[in-house]
Chains A and B, each alone.
Chain A
Amino acid sequence: MAFEPVLMRNVGVPNSTSLDVYKSSGGYAGAAKALAMQPGDVVDLVKKANLRGRGGAGFPAGIKWTFLPAERDITYLCVNADESEPPTFCNRITIESDPHMLLEGILIAGFATRTTVAYIYMRGEFMEQFHILQKAVDEAYAAGYFGRNILSSGYDLECYIHRGAGAYVCGEETGLIESLEGKRGWPRIKPPFPAVEGLFHKPTVVNNVETLACLPHIFTRGLDWWLSLGTENSKGPKMYCVSGPVNRPGCYEAPLGLSVRELIYGEDFGGGIRDGKKVKVVLPGGISMGALRGDTFPKNPGDEPDPTQDYDELDCRLDFDDVRRYGLLGLGTAAAVVVPEDADMRDVLLNLARFYAHESCGQCTQCREGTSWMYKVARRIAAGAGRACDLDLLVEVTENMGMMPGMSICGLPDGAAWPVRTIVQKFRKEFEEHIRAQSPQAAAEVIRRTNPAAYDLPILGPGHRLAPREVVQS
């Protein structure tokens, strides 16, 4: 397949962050084209391209822009550079290697939405990247790509970088808006959607870095090129990340629809697991989208994926539709973390549960309590004091939190529920084996040591299971 990378074409090019190098490979030509058009035509073109948001939810960017009210004086554009989903780093690569591609995308999106001020909300951990992007913004201002009367089109746009301070929930669009306004990053109840009432109570568009970075290429290379890439409902190139003990961890660009197996084993991608090991489990869309079984399991003899059977699921294609056939929440950020065959699933579960318990913002009760209880239960299992009923309890908790059962303001608890539920369901046998191998007395000691309040609890044998009613009532 002769695919020429566009989003990562300047990665590794010397001095690629400078305006001169960016312009030498056709930079800001897309913006020049777009600014010569009518804003409405720019929106139409992006709608036709079916550019779906690369930040996780996959909502078409062009349609998002049309939700802005027709009569408006001020519009804000928030650029979501809060990339905090582990293990995602494609936005970091874009900012580090090709910051002007992002800025050109901001200019095009800003012009299409008649934005007056664009804020780049950048996560606080990005230090080097902040200096690089700030330098690029200064350069772009000096060259007349921001400021007044850009490219003699009469369009004005200001662009500022706003640094976050370490909160996962600020990657949620309304959490980001609250944080920008100088408040804690608590997501807002929708509606009103940001397009109607967002930042400073004005119509606001929130777009991800990679979504915006795609825009210049749609204009320079044209709609036909764009639509020739990808699968039926997922068009265009995507930056895939793969990390963990693979031979070539990193970020790779390919058209949407790359299979997980290709991403891990392909010569041009991950290049296989170190020491010839096999994959036990892979979390292919950032950790929040759920888990797939690896090739330590037998191959699926049929064509249809069957999550109830213990089959290898690496043939899942990473686009916006195929992931759902495998029971994942969505494409997410298409950043895969590969867990090798010798890892203990109890540690994996503990790490994931800890992450969400730490990052839940605490606004909705079922998320605040659910994530911390998942953490407590995962800690108990990892300490060697798990009970078979704990696995039912974890599944029970995950089914009662999040936007899908209609219980929360934002999608964080859905993202917390999916990996925990899929891991518990798919690796239940392994967890049960560990629990069976525990001595009940030793387990009781662990519980009493870690939680003095549990001293009087009856010692439950490893085979003890709660009746379904008990779980519901608790």
Chain B
Amino acid sequence: MAWETINRRTIADEDLGPGLTVAIKDKIRAFLPRYPSKRAVLLPALHITQEALGRITLRSMREIAELLEMPPSAVMDVVTFYSHFWTKPRGKKLICVCRSLTCELMGGKRLLDVLKERLGIDEGETTPDGEYSLMTEECLAACEYGPCMLINEKLHKCVSPADLDGILADPNNDKLDMPRSDLFDPPGHGM
């Protein structure tokens, strides 16, 4: 990964990004009784925050740290370790293309190339209209349906480049057609 240096000491207040709302904080607090330590709520807290804000902002890292009584640096340490957390703005829908050996043998590489061309972006980037972000994933554990890709929650199986137009044109291409649990959703959504 490329080296990016940020001077966080003198960072302007408006560059910290949005913070946690009261409802998000309440939702995070609801996880506290599950664990004997506050710090263990960190991963659920980050999932909830990312669902609500689309990414983990610097301000939300500070506020999560305060809520869970841990240093903000430790929050950032965890955020940057896991590949699912985004610190920069993310599109409304995130496309994860599987690049495991099985999917590659079944044509995953070509699928990714066509998708990049269609969206006009590279891995880790977002389309200018803010609709899609693109990333690759090591294995989506759906190898019998290779090549596969995940759009937000919905898994698309056995995707050939010819299917892409249809998938991208469908406004509900990221929605599951099944009852969901709202556990990690932003408060007020879903249900």
A residues engaging B (CB < 8 A)? 83-89, 91-92, 123-128, 130-132, 134-135, 138, 158, 160-168, 179-185, 200, 241, 243-245, 249-251, 283, 287, 335, 337, 339-340, 343, 347-348, 351-352, 355, 358-359, 361
Contacts and interface: CB of A to CB of B under 8 A. Distances in A.
A406 to B, nearest CB: 26
Interface string B6-21: 0000000000000000
B43 A163 contact: yes
A130 B152 CA distance: 13
B137 A125 contact: yes
Interface string B133-175: 0000111111111100010111100000000000000000000
A169 to B, nearest CB: 9
Nearest to A85: B139
Nearest 10 interchain pairs by C-beta: A182-B42, A165-B82, A87-B143, A243-B143, A86-B100, A86-B139, A184-B81, A134-B181, A127-B153, A182-B39
B24 to A, nearest CB: 17
B176 interface: yes
Contacts, number: 156
A148 to B, nearest CB: 15
Contacts of A86: 100-102, 138-139, 143
Contacts of A84: 138-139, 141
A351 B47 CA distance: 29
A104 B154 CA distance: 28
Interface of B: 34-37, 39-44, 46-47, 68, 70, 74, 77-78, 81-85, 96, 99-102, 104-106, 137-146, 150, 152-155, 176, 178-181, 183-184
B179 A131 contact: yes
A249 B143 CA distance: 8
Given A89-B143, A166-B137, A351 B34 contact: no
Given A127-B176, A128-B178, A131-B176, A347 B104 contact: yes
> Is chain A's interface secondary structure helix, strand, loop, or mixed overall?
mixed
A287 to B, nearest CB: 6
Given A86-B138, A168-B138, A244-B105, 8 more contacts: A124-B84, A125-B137, A128-B155, A163-B43, A165-B85, A181-B40, A245-B105, A245-B106
30 contacts: A84-B138, A85-B139, A86-B101, A87-B146, A88-B143, A127-B154, A128-B178, A131-B178, A134-B183, A162-B43, A163-B43, A163-B47, A166-B83, A179-B43, A181-B39, A182-B42, A183-B78, A184-B82, A243-B102, A243-B143, A249-B146, A283-B101, A337-B102, A337-B105, A339-B105, A340-B105, A343-B105, A347-B104, A351-B99, A358-B138
A180 B42 CA distance: 9
A86 B42 CA distance: 27
Contact of A185 (B46, B81, B105, B106): B81
A92 B105 contact: no
A89 B101 contact: no
Contacts of B153: 127-128
